[in-house]
Amino acid sequence: MPATFGQVIIGPPGSGKSTYCNGLQQFYNAIGRQCCIINLDPANDRLPYSTLNSLDIRDYLTIEEIMEEKKLGPNGGLIYCFESMEESLDIFYLKIQEILNENENTYLIFDCPGQVELFTSNGTLFKIFQKLSKKFDLRLCVVNLVDSIYITSPSKYISIVLLSLRSMLMMDLPQINVISKIDMLANYGNKEDLLPFRLDYYTEVQQLDYMQPLIEIESENTGYPYTAKKLSKLTQHLSEIIEDFNLVSFEVLCIDDKNSMVSLQTLIDKANGYIFGVSEIGGDTIWSELTRQGIMNELNMIDIQERWIDNKEEYDLEEEKKRLEAIKEREMLEKEVNIQENDVDGNEDDEWQKVMKDWENATGKVATRD
């Protein structure tokens, strides 16, 4: 059996994990890549994606049952669920094996819960994926989603960077950190004073000491001068730790923007190794052709500050224009194909009429077409 590839989707609550899985499923269907979403959140009873070819942990246990039976709160119940799951993975193995038996090249997408302790301090989730990787020769990439609203606050930005670093160290897998809902960023204020630095400053996570004066101002505005100094000092030390590791950087994502999805999926395919000779086996020949044509070179030339803040409206109009042109071109192509098919049918009828006429002239009988 060949190696199995997939993504592990993590991130704080409200970061858009299930929405991303839904968009990813549609994207992969469009390019011809067979995929299966595995919902690992026993508390998520409203899945936006199709459950036809998916695996849902709630079919076997729910957070409500655990909380009632074990008298636990939501977080404690969730941790208990995964600890129980780790101890009895046989059924989970069997279900994944059934999915792979139908198509051994199925791409697996794991939709994880939003409780951050599962991927920052509790090692159960890591152990589960470690066992899965050994069992199915699974090549995974962690996709860590964080809401774009967090970068509008200096202290919250440092927090999400620290959280991303902690998950990278805990999960011990290739990880791509993503600022999601980037198209919503322009709605959080005037673009002139929305962010004190360019957007690429926040994605590259370099020279965090530039953020320190802003954090001091933010701390002073809390109205508690004593704790403000301590908070400022703490943030400074955390920034130094982040820079010492020098591991964290971010990509940006708008789930409704095709170019944004193409750019991110190319990076993910490189991170988990899918891009290296497996795409043809997976059946997604459209994706293979795109990567061969070097579309990423064009996408990398787009400045994210211009695209999502400075000139967002102009780019959106241009994208909409291209989309409408593509729809029009597809409709014209379909119309052309229908005309050609009708011409073929018409030619066949003319030829049949001629044959019947010749037969009638030769035999003196009336021909009928049965």
Question: What are the tens digits of pLDDT across the range 97-122?
Answer: 999 999 999 999 999 999 999 998 88
**All structural domains of the chain with their residue ranges:** 4-205+248-310, 214-246, 312-370
As a whole number, mean pLDDT of residues 11-23 equals 94
List pLDDT tens digits, range 207-216. 999 999 998 8
What is the maximum span of the chain, computed from C-alpha positions, in angstroms? 113
List pLDDT tens digits, range 18-35. 999 999 999 999 888 999
pLDDT band at 39 (very low <50, low <70, confident <90, very high): very high
Cβ(303)–Cβ(295) under 8 Å?
no
pLDDT number for residue 344: 58
pLDDT number for residue 208: 93
Cβ(180)–Cβ(145) under 8 Å?
yes
Q: Is 221 helix (H, G, I), strand (E, B) or coil?
A: coil
pLDDT number for residue 257: 92
List pLDDT tens digits, range 245-268. 999 999 999 999 988 999 999 999
List pLDDT tens digits, range 351-361. 767 767 776 67
- 136 CB-contact burial (10 Å; exposed 0-12 / middle 13-18 / buried 19+): middle
Task: Output the six-digit token pair for 308.
Answer: 């999502």
pLDDT band at 136 (very low <50, low <70, confident <90, very high): very high
pLDDT number for residue 154: 93
Q: What is the pTM of this model?
A: 0.85
pLDDT number for residue 77: 92
CA–CA separation, 182 and 163 (whole Å): 19
Percent of the chain at pLDDT exceeding 90: 54
Mean pLDDT for the chain overall: 87
pLDDT band at 140 (very low <50, low <70, confident <90, very high): very high
pLDDT number for residue 108: 96
pLDDT band at 2 (very low <50, low <70, confident <90, very high): confident
pLDDT number for residue 356: 72
pLDDT number for residue 277: 56
pLDDT number for residue 334: 82
CATH label, 4-205+248-310, candidates 2.60.120.200, 3.40.50.880, 1.10.10.60, 3.40.50.300: 3.40.50.300
Backbone phi, then psi, for 37, in 5-degree steps? -95, 130
Q: Which of 345, 161, 332 is nearest to 238 (CA)?
A: 161
Q: Which of 324, 308, 305 is nearest to 316 (CA)?
A: 308
pLDDT number for residue 297: 57
pLDDT number for residue 15: 95
Dihedral (Cα; 96, 101, 107, 113), 10-degree rounding: -10
pLDDT of 181 above 60: yes
As a whole number, mean pLDDT of residues 297-313 equals 82
Percent of the chain at pLDDT exceeding 70: 87
CA–CA separation, 191 and 185 (whole Å): 9
As a whole number, mean pLDDT of residues 51-66 equals 86
Axis crossing angle, helix 285-292 with helix 258-272, rounded to the nearest 10 = 90
pLDDT of 44 above 80: yes
Name the residue with higher pLDDT: 173 or 370.
Answer: 173
pLDDT number for residue 47: 87
pLDDT number for residue 26: 93
pLDDT number for residue 342: 66
pLDDT of 348 above 70: no
pLDDT of 176 above 70: yes
As a whole number, mean pLDDT of residues 156-185 equals 95
Q: Which range among 21-30, 293-302, 320-329 shows the weakest confidence by mean pLDDT?
A: 293-302
pLDDT of 204 above 60: yes
Cβ(84)–Cβ(10) under 8 Å?
no
Cβ(79)–Cβ(118) under 8 Å?
yes
